[in-house]
């Protein structure tokens, strides 16, 4: 019926659900604002999104080399865990 979310804050489940669209730049301004607002006070989500952004960046750069996604993800995750 009515939208569950009006003028609210996103919770971690929302962030998880919207993460891919955020990374791909597909959220509208309002969603984007709520999303980033959550990241400001939620460190786990912030780290997750930073990771996703970094991953996208690297996949973009390395795209031509056709590196298997899961392998790269794992490699990057290990690298990233060390940095954090
Ligand atoms: Zn969160």
Is residue 5 in a domain? no
- Residue carrying structure tokens 């794992």: 74
Is residue 1 in a domain? no
Calculate how far, in angstroms, residue 69's C-alpha sits from the geometric centre of ligand 1.
Answer: 25
Nearest to 23 by CA among 1, 55, 47, 45: 55
pLDDT at 5 over 60: no
Calculate how far, in angstroms, residue 61's C-alpha sits from the geometric centre of ligand 1.
Answer: 28
Is residue 69 in a domain? yes
pLDDT tens sequence across 53-82: 988 887 776 666 555 677 777 877 787 776
Is residue 6 in a domain? no
Which residues, in sequence order, are CB contacts of 30 under 8 Å at separation 6+?
A: none
Cα separation of the two ends of the chain = 42
Decide if 62 contacts 72 (C-beta within 8 A). Answer: yes
Domain of residue 33 covers 12-83
pTM of the predicted protein model: 0.65
Torsion, CA 40, CA 44, CA 49, CA 54, rounded to 10 = 120
pLDDT, position 11: 96
Neighbours of ion ligand 1 (CB under 5 A): 12, 42, 45
The count of structural domains within the chain is 1
């Amino acid at each position: 019926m009515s939208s569950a979310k009006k003028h609210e804050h996103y919770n971690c489940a929302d962030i998880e659900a919207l993460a891919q669209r955020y990374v791909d730049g597909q959220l509208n301004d309002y969603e984007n604002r709520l999303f980033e607002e959550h990241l400001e006070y939620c460190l786990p989500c912030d780290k997750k999104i930073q990771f996703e952004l970094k991953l996208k960046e690297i996949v973009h750069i390395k795209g031509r080399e056709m590196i298997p996604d899961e392998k790269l993800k794992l490699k990057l995750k290990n690298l990233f865990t060390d940095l954090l």
